[in-house]
Amino acid sequence: MTDRADGRLRAKVLTVSDGVVHGTRDDASGAALVAQLVEAGFNVVEHRITADGADLVAEVLIEMSDQFAGVIVSTGGTGFAPRDQTPEGTRRVIEREAPGLAEAMRLVSPLGRLSRGVAGIRGATIICNTPGSPKGCVEQLAAIIDVLPHAVKLLLDAPTSH
């Protein structure tokens, strides 16, 4: 759950983007999420990039969540374009959905209603999908970042304040 060296909650970021993979687009969203997580006190232990598509997303999320306790935040692939299949890949991987997180994320702005992102649990990992725009991903993560440490503690059956 935490990094033994400093006690901070661990996090990983996954950028889902054909453009970033092919070098035609900068990974501004992934970088923004890393910065936001670090500023909130998380230890970001991995930032990975994959192309769009449900199969690729599922494969990478399995690799990233195996033997990991913490939070994985993805950016990209949550919209209406044909290659936007991050939610479908995520659903293949998660064991239980966390609809309250996804609902809170969508409520941050009118464009949030266009996000098909999901949130859920796999093992000791909470996985949350955010949009591919830097503004959208940061806004949506901001909607839930305050409850993620408590959620991970509950997931791991660790002592909490309630």
- Structural domains of the chain, ranges and CATH numbers in brackets: 10-155 (3.40.980.10)
Rounded to 10°, the helix 99-106/134-142 angle is 130
Helix, strand, coil in percent for the chain, rounding step 5: 40, 20, 40
Residue 155 has a CB neighbour count (10 Å cut-off) of: 19
pLDDT tops 70 at residue 2 = no
Poorest-confidence range of 6-10, 65-69, 78-82, 137-141?
Answer: 6-10
Confidence label for 1 from pLDDT (cuts 50, 70 and 90)? low
